[in-house]
Chain A
Amino acid sequence: MSADLIVALPEIILFALACLILIVEAYSKDPLHTLTYWTTQIALLITLALIMSSCPKEAVIAFNGGFISDGMSAILKAFMCGITFIVFLYSYEYLKEHKTIKGEYFVLGLFAVLGMMIMASAYSLLSIYLGLELLSLSLYAMVAMQRESESASEAAMKYFILGALASGMLLYGISMIYGLTGHLQLADITEAITNDSINRSYLVFGMIFLIIGAAFKLGAAPFHMWVPDVYQGAPTSVTLFISTAPKLAAFAMTMRLLVDGLFPLVSDWQSILMVLAVLSMGVGNIIAIAQTNIKRMLAYSTIAHVGFLFLGLIAGTIAGFSGSMFYIISYALMSMGAFGMIILLGRNNFEAELLNDFKGLAERSPWFAFIMLCLMFSMAGVPPFLGFWSKWFVLKELVTSGFVSLAAVAVVFSIIGAYYYLRIVKLMYFDKAESMTAIKASKQMRMVLSVNGLLILVLGLAPNALMALCLSAIAG
């Protein structure tokens, strides 16, 4: 029992700290919630440290198979904490700027992180479900939290209803799988499928519901509808959050369900994912072209990226999964930078969420224009930026597994996609600025954002480490 506790230490500590911070928050009068903010950040760092320190050599299963700690979970958790740390840093800027700062934001954020971590290391369907709910509920609340704005509450409502619907589907799927295999624990399920003679198409029936649940979280077409509205409606700080760390969690969940749980059905879910992938890339890239609101545009680009993410899973090999992992991580880094940039450009009671707000950025601030350029070209998948390698990785594995034509389709969509990223670069560099108002943001914000952007470039020049990490994570 105590061994189990050791394994799950990061989660436990995070939980404890979250409760602590809740109390701190309750008693703090500071309108800027500085204390809450810093304690939160420290909590994250502590968790991060714990994760780093307790990175397992081989998979450890705890709590009667409810919990697993392996390479993938460890790395994803680490990135979740790290990314959330930066996200909170950006968010704090934003909230201060917009005078909508609330202590609960951070507390809920922490609980969301907890949920993600649980998902990352969930090894039974039940833990997956609970982790998912913990995450989602916190997110619903965070979206709705900025009570001044109509769109926020609308977004929250849509998110909530659709989320509930999706988790309902997921549950139905779980119930079917449970009913067919008689197990909730992933390993048992795999074993049951391989050994017992279970009607395959019924398993697929159940699996489809599971996939829908996962696809919804990731925002894959046709289960993507919530994404644009939520991204646009939610306060940028929350959008920033939603579009980064939870994606890792959703990826982890997909991996757990499809790879750890239902790998015997690989041929079936490959073809299902193929449909979703093509749809997502198509819908995402094509609709994004027509957008004028950058948050919404990035939402659609997310959908497109998810399509690409699936390609790695479709490959159905260790390397392919590593490719997807690499993809989702680099995507999280990129979109963190992109939304960070929106926050950076925003000012008091002004959200820089229209594309035109980027006009002439190169004159206003060459440096950040350059950072944004890196991010955009990276998202478009142009070398030497990180985004290229993520696309390259999944495509390579896809081709290696023999899906050449699918790869061709994918690259065609990536060209369509390139257009709207270029459009932002065009706005920044080729157009005249409408206002030359200088960018007012705190020093650490500027610094972190710069690092974020340069990271995209540096990792693009030397992607080996991250690639190796992902490979070992899945393989180990």
Chain B
Amino acid sequence: MTLSNLPLLSMLIWTPILGGIWVLIAGDRQEETVKYFSLAVSFITFVFSVILYCQFDTTYAGMQFVEETKWIEAFNIKYHLGVDGIALPLILLTTFTTILVILSAWEVIEKRISYYMCAFLILTGLMNAVFVALDAILFYVFWEAMLIPMFLIIGIWGGPNRVYATIKFFLYTFLGSVFMLVAFLYLYTVAGSFNIEALHNAPLSLTAQKLIFIAFFLAFAVKIPMWPVHTWLPDAHVEAPTGGSVVLAAIMLKMGGYGFLRFSLPITPDASLFFSNAMIVLSLIGIVYIGFVALVQEDMKKLIAYSSISHMGFVTLGFFIPFAIVAGTGSDSGAIMGMEGAMMQMISHGFISAAMFLCVGVMYDRLHSRMIKDYGGVVNSMPYFAAFMMLFVMANSGLPGTSGFVGEFLVILSSYKASFWIAFTAALTLILGAAYSLWMYKRVVFGDVTKEDVAELKDINSREAFILFMLAIVVIMFGVWPAPIFDVMHVTVEQLIDHVLQSKIL
């Protein structure tokens, strides 16, 4: 098998980007070609990621498939790629979601279809790149570059208030990341290199760590997003086209989490310890506060956006629980559980939120409204759709047997090890999550039809059915068989925990 010596990671990055460029050149004239070509590209990318998964050595903690070539010798910045157990699942998530996004745009996007496809393909490439970049500057370049297509996607195909939303999105995330850049530059003075692994081992004083942690925090907390820097997300989601919302919720948010794992925790372990309580509190506020806010949303997309924020609260909680556990019990048992739970939560939320947004998209394409009050009794006219949506709603409220359950369950279990009250507050999501999800479902899907345009709704066509079906499969599969994801990340996470629990202060 010669696959092993292919530059898989580069292929993951550049295939979609080049494909996107081709699409742009092809232009809107050959619309069909564009669509099918984009689909093909996204599918090939997915295949690459699957090959990557199959070839991945789950027993090795470090970086695999490493590619390293000169880029900027002047400052030995390298084109340095590699993948480990944390990045791999996210890559799969990315490539998989892209296919669905491409499909979901099929008949929906009328204006500038080629731009649309191009934007998404390039975005995919960049997102993959973010997950595999092993050079801080390389990472930063991709991280920022990613904003451009997203900015355009929201701005061009977005809703009425898109300009406000997209500029808010851009500046907000930009604000966060520039401080990260400064932090990188500072780290360079310490480590003498931008190589992330080198940064992991660079000794740092506590104050330095604190400052760096805050800089990273600004970048990643905004991205993930954590309360109170979350307000860009609902706007962005509401205005974004379905595909945009999907990518935003399914992958972009995860980058914040990835950032915490890749940078904040290993580079500034002591500061992470120092700030862990604050982070936990913020996460808990996020979970509960946002849960309440989600409850009263009248706009479905807003509601799902808020629920995303609250779910991401679990991610951050899981990341910082280990410190609390060690501080509390003195042993790190359960720390791994929290971390892995958080990882799992990211993955599954990727699928579920994608599914939810696609569901809203399906309705929006028919009625051009996202308002809950404009619906009601959808089940009567769209039974199949209702069935799918029920599944996803349940998954969203963390039902055992769906992927949504695994992450929350593990995080709650491990957070109990830290403190009863943390677990208590976190577990409130059981009630709140169910409340907002089901209440929306009740108002939208159940009930008798009161509006005639709802009565005339056409049930999902085969394309939409296929998309939702794929997601349903995945959601259930990882619900009953989460092993594939966990096997991949065990070793890496363990090693990460070991690394994080040692002080870096000299």
Contacts and interface: CB of A to CB of B under 8 A. Distances in A.
A464 B189 contact: no
B140 A395 contact: no
Interface string A377-403: 100001110001000100110011000
Contact of A415 (B71, B75, B174, B182): B174
Query: Interface SS of chain B: helix, strand, loop or mixed?
Result: helix
B151 A399 contact: no
B229 interface: no
A426 B182 contact: no
B147 A400 contact: no
B71 A464 contact: yes
Interface string A345-383: 000000000000000000000000000000001000011
B148 interface: yes
Contacts of A462: 71
Interface in A427-446: 429-430
B476 interface: no
A418 interface: yes
A22 interface: no
B376 interface: no
Contact of A396 (B148, B178, B185): B185
B189 to A, nearest CB: 5
A467 B178 contact: no
Interface in A98-123: none
B7 to A, nearest CB: 18
A457 to B, nearest CB: 11
Interface string A391-426: 010011001100010011001101100110011011
Given A382-B145, A426-B167, A411 B181 contact: yes
Contacts of B188: 396, 399-400
B439 to A, nearest CB: 35
A66 interface: no
Contacts of B75: 396, 467
Interface in B139-154: 140-142, 144-145, 147-148, 151-152
A400 B144 contact: no
A415 B144 contact: no
B452 interface: no
Contact of B148 (A377, A400, A411, A463): A377
Nearest to A402: B189
B186 A399 contact: yes
Contact of B72 (A399, A419, A429, A463): A463
A404 B186 contact: yes
Contact of A471 (B71, B74, B185, B186): B74
A411 B144 CA distance: 14
Interface string A457-473: 00000111001100100
A422 B170 contact: yes
B74 A464 contact: yes
B151 A422 contact: yes
A468 B74 contact: yes
Contacts of B151: 422, 425
B469 to A, nearest CB: 35
Interface string B196-239: 00000000000000000000000000000000000000000000
A384 B145 CA distance: 6
B185 A383 contact: no
Given A395-B181, A407-B182, A415-B174, A426 B155 contact: yes
Query: Interface SS of chain A: helix, strand, loop or mixed?
Result: helix
Contact of A414 (B72, B137, B162, B178): B178
Contacts of B170: 418, 422
Most chain A beta carbons < 10 A, residue from B71, B74, B137, B179 = B74
Contacts of B174: 382, 415, 418
Given A422-B151, A464-B73, A468-B73, A392 B181 contact: yes
Nearest to B194: A396
Contacts of A388: 141, 144
Contacts of B166: 426, 430
A464 B73 CA distance: 7
Interface in A201-251: none
Contact of B182 (A395, A423, A429): A395
Nearest to B144: A383
Contact of B141 (A384, A396, A430): A384
Contacts of A429: 152, 155-156
B275 to A, nearest CB: 19
A333 B145 CA distance: 20
B72 A467 contact: yes
Nearest to A464: B72
A473 B502 CA distance: 45
Contacts of A404: 182, 186
B171 A382 contact: no
A418 B171 CA distance: 7
B209 to A, nearest CB: 14
A382 B144 contact: yes
Contacts of B182: 395, 399, 404, 407-408, 411
B122 to A, nearest CB: 11
Most chain B beta carbons < 10 A, residue from A383, A399, A407, A423 = A383
Contacts of B140: 383
Contacts of A419: 167, 171
A426 B171 contact: no
Contacts of A422: 151, 167, 170-171
Nearest to B114: A366
Contact of B175 (A399, A415, A471): A415
6 contacts: A382-B144, A382-B174, A392-B137, A400-B185, A419-B167, A468-B74
Interface of B: 71-75, 137, 140-142, 144-145, 147-148, 151-152, 155-156, 162-163, 166-167, 170-171, 174-175, 178-179, 181-182, 185-186, 188-189
Q: Top 10 nearest A-B pairs by Cβ distance?
A: A411-B178, A383-B141, A399-B185, A467-B74, A464-B72, A430-B155, A383-B144, A396-B185, A468-B74, A415-B175
